[in-house]
Structure 1
Amino acid sequence: MPTYKDEKTGSWYCKFYYTDWTGKKKQKLKRGFKLQRDAKDWERLFLEQFANAPDITFRTLCQKYKNFKENRVRPSTLQSQLNTIELHMLPYFDRKVIAEITPADIVDWQNHLLKKGFTAAYTRQINATLGMLFKFAVDYLGLARNPVKSKICKPAPKKVDFWTPEEYKCFSDAIRDNIELFTAFEILFYTGMRKGELLALTPGDIDFQEKKITINKTLAYVDGKYTIQPPKTPKSNRIIDIPQFLLDEIKDYMAKIYGMDPDDRLFSRSRVWLGEALTRVCKKIDLRPIRVHDLRHSHASLLINLGANPLMIAERLGHDDVKMTMNTYSHLFQSHREEIIEKLEKIKF
C-alpha cells in the first residue's frame, strides 16, 4: 500500500488503483493525512469496500451490512441497529479481521456487555444484532461460521403493566379540557394502536360511515428528523372497528382545527409529546404512572375482560400471530378460568 508525503504541506496522501463494481479500473487519490499510518489505514478500508471475502475488518463488515439492509428494512429499524453497533460493538471489535474472531472472543465481549447492567431484554437484543451481522457475513461474504453461538442470558419474565378502566377514567377526566390531548389518549386506550401509528393518523384514515380506522403508516425519528414510514410489521397494516362515542370525539376535535386536509396529520406533534404529558398529569393527580406503550396493554386487558378471544385481540393490536398475544397476556386469560367453570356448571341439565 504505497503512500506519499506532500513536501509542500508536510501531510501524507495515498494514490492507488482499484476495480469498481462494474469491473472498471479506476484511480483514487486522497490527501490531508497527518500520519503515514492514517493514509495506509484509509486506503485499506477503502479497498475493503470492494472485497467480497471474510478477511475484511469488522468495521467494513458493518458498512457492508448497512448497504445491504438500507432498502430491505424500515429506516428506523436500520437506524436502531446501527446505533447498537456503534455503541456496543465497534469499540470492541473495530479493526479486527472477522475471519479471526472466535467464539471465545464473542464470550469475552458478552462478559464485557453483561457488566454494564442493562436489562435482559436489551442485552439479548444487542447480542442478536451481533449474530445477524455475522450471519450476513456467512451468507454473503464467505465467512466459514458464525462465532455467535450462545445466547447471552435468559429472558426476564414478561411484565405487563396497564391501567384499569377506573384508573384511565381518572386520567382522562384530568385532561378533558385539553381536547387535543384528550382525543389522542382516547384513541390509544380504545384502539390499542401504537404511539407512532397514532401520530401518523390522517383524516383520510378514518371512515365515519363504517366506524373504522385504517392503520397503514407510523411516525418514526430517523437521522435527526421525523419521517412517515410503513408500520412495524406487515400484520400492523390493519383496519380497526371503533365505537360511536370515539368517532364523535374525533369529529369534535377535527371540527376545531381549521383547514385540515385529508392527508394532514391529526396530531402534528413529536413522539415525546404523549409521554411528557402522561408523566406530568399523573404527578399532578397522584395517579400511578405507566408508559404510553402500556395503553396497548390496557386496551388488551379491557378486551379480555369484555370476553374477546385471542384471535380478535391479535388482529386488533397488529400482532404477527396469536402466539404472541397469548405469550403476552396469558396470565390475564387465566383469571377468567373460574368464570368459565361457573358457566359450565350452569349449562348442566
Structure 2
Amino acid sequence: MPVKNASITRRRLPGSGPGRVRWDVRWRSRSGRVKTKTFASKGAAREFADATEAAKANGGELPDAGDRTVGDAAAVWIDEVRSSARTAKTIDNYESVLRTHVVPEWGTWPLKNVRKSDVRSWLARMDKHGAGLSTRKQSRTVLRLVLGLAADRGWVGSNAAEGIRVEGAPVRQEMLFLTADQLVALADAMDEEQYRVLVMVAGTTGLRAAEIAGLRARSVDLRTGTITVCETLVEVGGRLVQQEHTKTKRNRAVPVPASLLPDLAALVKDKQPGDRVWTSPTGSDLRRSAFMAKHYKPAAAKAGLPPELRLHDLRHTAAAILISLGGHPLSVKERLGHSSIEITLNTYGHLFPALDEQLTGKVDDVLRSAKESDGADIGADEADVDSDYDA
C-alpha cells in the first residue's frame, strides 16, 4: 500500500516490560522513497511525524539527518533512558547533567559540526570555571551517550566524545570512622528509640541509607539473627521512589550482632510483615533529608561529633569495625553488598595494611616458636646420646 502521509506504528520487541516497545515512523520522501525511523517513545515519534508533514506542506523536505542538533538527539536519548530498566536515581542524575551541563552548551549545535577538539575545549572550560572531576566526567559521559545514539541512528558519522579522557585528580569526601564509644554516644543522643536502634544497626551492619529506609518487618529474621536486604526507598527530586531491588540488583543476608536483636524485636513486635521497620515520627516513610535535619545532625552535635558526619559514615564505621576484627576483604564485600572486590579494596584498602603488619608479626611468632621447639628437640637428642654413651 503506498505511503502518502507519515504514519506511526507501535512495535513490541522480544521480551516484556518497559523499554521493550518501539514506535516506527514511515513516510515517503520527495524522491518517492519510503523511509522509516524508530523512536523509543510515542511522543518523540509523533513530534517527528508532525515535522515531516509540516515540511511537506510547505513544499520542502524533512531536514537531512546531518542537520539534526545535539538537542534533538538528547531528547530522543533521554526518552529511551526514562523507559529503560535503570534506577530512578540514575535517571534523575542523567536528567540533571543533561539539563545543567550538556544542553546549555550543545543543544543548538548541528551534530555534523561537533568535533573532538570542541569536546576537549568544553571540558577545559568547565575545569577552568571550577567544575570538579566528577562533574566533568559525568558531563562527558552523557554527551558521549547522546552522540552514540546519534551515530547508531545514522544521524552523524562518528561519536566525537568517544575516547575523550577527562584529566584531573579525584577529590574524595573524607570518610569518618566512629569508634565503638562514639557510635554508642550518637545512638544514645537520638531523640527516639527507633532511631537509636537505627544508628546501632547501621553502624554495625553497613546498610545503605536507602536500604534502611526501605527495610520491612518481614525482612528481619530474629531466629537467624539476619536482615535480608532486598529493596530500597530512594528520595529523588523530593519524591520517594520504591525500588524492588538493591543497588547491585542482588539480595543479601546481613548478620546482626546478637546484642541488638532484642532491640530489633521490640521495634518490629507490633508491625505487620509489610510495614517499614523505621518510619518518620508520624509513621510515614522515612525521608533521608528530614531525618538528617531533624534527628541525625542534632544528635551528632549533642554527642560532640563533627558537624560534617554523614549517615553514610555509619556504613564506613561498620566496615572499619569488620576490618579491625580481622574480617577478610571478601567477607566485608559480601556484608556491605559491593558489586566487586575492587570496590571494597579501593574504598577501604588503606585500612588493611595495619592487619598486614599484624599478620607479619604473627608469622614471626610462628617462626620463633618453631626455632625454639627445634632447639629444645636437639638438646633432648644430645642428652639421650650422652646417656647411651656413658652406659
Give, in angstroms, the shift of residue 83 of structure 1: 1.0
Question: Aligned pair 1:284/2:302, yes or no?
Answer: yes
Q: Name the SS of the counterpart of 1:144 in structure 2.
A: coil
Once the two structures are aligned, what percentage of the paired residues are identical?
24
Corresponding residue for residue 18 of structure 1 = 6
1:136 to 1:22, Cα distance in 2 relative to 1, 3 A: closer
Q: Render the CA deviation track for 1:279-325: whole Å, top value 9, x for unaligned.
A: 22222332124211121111111100011001011111111111111
User: TM (normalized to structure 1)?
Assistant: 0.81
**1:315-348 deviation per Cα after TM superposition (whole angstroms, max 9, x unaligned):** 1111111111111111100122221111011112
Residues 186-335 of structure 1 mapped to structure 2, 5 A cutoff: 186-222=200-236, 224-229=238-243, 230-235=245-250, 237-255=251-269, 260-267=271-278, 268-276=285-293, 277-289=295-307, 290-335=309-354
- The structure 2 residue matched to 1:84, chosen from 62, 87, 97, is 97
CA contact (8 A) 1:160 1:294 kept: yes
Deviation of 1:142 (Å): 5.2
Distance of 1:306 and 1:170 partners within structure 2: 21
Report the 3-state secondary structure (helix = DSSP H, G, I; strand = E; otherwise coil) of the residue aligned with 1:147. Answer: coil
Q: In 2, are the aligned partners of 1:200 and 1:217 still within 8 Å (CA)?
A: yes
* Paired residue secondary structure (1:213): strand
Distance 1:51 1:306 in 2: 66
Residue 44 of structure 1: how far off its partner (Å): 7.5
CA–CA separation in structure 2 for the residues paired with 1:306 and 1:316: 14
In the alignment, which of 184, 194, 205 is matched to residue 169 of structure 1?
184
Amino acid at match of 1:266: V
Q: Does 1:100 find its partner at 2:113?
A: yes
Q: State the SS of the aligned residue for 2:253.
A: strand
TM-score (norm: length of structure 2): 0.73
The AA in structure 2 aligned to 1:58 is V
- Range with bigger deviation, 337-346 or 275-284: 275-284
Is the partner of 2:227 in helix, strand or coil?
strand
- One-letter code of the match for 2:328? N
Q: Which has the higher contact order (CA 8 A, sep 6+)?
A: 1
| Alpha-carbon distance in 1 for matches of 2:225, 2:324 | 22
Following the alignment from structure 1 to structure 2, what is the Cα–Cα distance between the partners of residues 321 and 292?
23
Aligned equivalents of 1:52, 1:62: Cα separation in 2: 17
Matched, 1:47 2:43: no
Amino acid at match of 1:263: G
| CA distance, structure 1, for counterparts of residue 166 and residue 249 of structure 2 | 29
Gaps of 5+ in 2: 9-22, 29-45, 53-61, 279-284, 371-391
Query: Counterparts of 1:18-167 in structure 2 under 5 Å?
Result: 18-20=6-8, 21-23=23-25, 47=51, 53=65, 55-69=67-81, 70-141=83-154, 143-148=156-161, 149-156=163-170, 158=172, 159-167=174-182
Structure 1 position 187, deviation (Å)? 1.8
Deviations 1:181-225 (A, max 9, x none): 112112211110110110000001111112111111111234642
* C-alpha separation in 1, matches of 2:64 and 2:181: 60
Q: Distance in 1 between matches of 2:317 and 2:238?
A: 31
Residues 43/157 of structure 1: CA separation in 2 closer, same or farther (3 Å cut)? closer
Q: Decide whether the 8 Å contact of 1:53 with 1:141 is kept in 2.
A: yes
State the distance in 2 between where 1:142 and 1:309 align.
51
Q: Where does residue 389 of structure 2 map in the other structure?
A: none
Which protein has the larger Cα radius of gyration, Structure 1 or Structure 2? Answer: 2
Unaligned runs of 5+ residues in structure 1 are: 1-15, 27-41
The superposition leaves residues 74-102 of structure 1 with CA deviations (integer Å, 9 ceiling, x where unpaired) of 12211111111101111111121223211
- Aligned-pair RMSD on alpha carbons? 2.8
Count residues in correspondence: 313
How far apart are 1:119 and its partner, in Å?
3.1
